[in-house]
Amino acid sequence: MDKKAAVAGMEMFAGLAPDKIAELAAVAEVRRRERGRVIFRAGEAADGFYSVASGKVRIYRSSPSGKEHILHVFGPGAAFAEVVVFQGGVFPADAQALEDSELLFFPRRGFAALLRDDPELAMSMLALLSARLRFFVQKIEELSLKEVPARLAAHLLLLHSAQKKMRLDLELPKGQLAGYLGTIPETLSRVLRKMADDGLIVLDGQAVVLRDVERLEELASGQKNL
């Protein structure tokens, strides 16, 4: 892996000068994880944070009964577990590779030393944490206040915004997507079929083709029901 290129491709380091990218690359360690392999478990000592160079990672929590709830899915360029840079302690959730993945690991001690010497880098970290906080506030609102069709519509619109196309890769198997949206697979399948029957989407294997973005926006906002 070209560590400098991988660091430069991280969202949180976008726009940093080449010398700063080189300093970050010198601190980072390359770690590879096969599909299905756990990266860390909730409760383990948090000695650094990660970024996805290639592949895909899910962050999730498991209940005592064994039920899993997916908190987030990260692809190339995204950092995760970055709160440990400031807080230390233990990881609050589990992380698992959804695909064969190459990761950058930033040890807490080395990265914190760079932060102390670079206000611009510190501001990038604060911006990332602020965006992550807004995301979780929005997700809590959706799970607590919105019905499943509105949650699914909002998720499809988010993928549309990120992927910049009408044919969307759902990123998660439908069973895991149901958990991510706070529902069960049967309900998710029923809502997807209803959206297809109403002309909002077309189902294409593990992909969804958007047909009516305007109506999806109305559904996501609660202006209309499915």
pLDDT digits (tens, 9 = 90+) for 11-45: 888 777 898 899 899 999 999 999 999 999 999 99
Q: What is the pLDDT of residues 127-169, one digit of tens each?
A: 766 776 776 666 666 655 578 898 899 889 888 877 888 999 8
Distance CA 113, CA 211 (A): 50
pTM of the model: 0.66
Q: Nearest Cα to 55, choosing from 15, 21, 102, 12?
A: 102
Structural domains of the chain sorted by starting position, each given as residue range(s) with its CATH number in brackets: 3-142 (2.60.120.10), 146-221 (1.10.10.10)
Helix locations, 68-173, DSSP H: 84-87, 108-117, 119-145, 148-163
Angle between helices 119-145 and 18-27 (to 10 degrees): 70
201-204 vs 48-54, strand pairing mode: unpaired
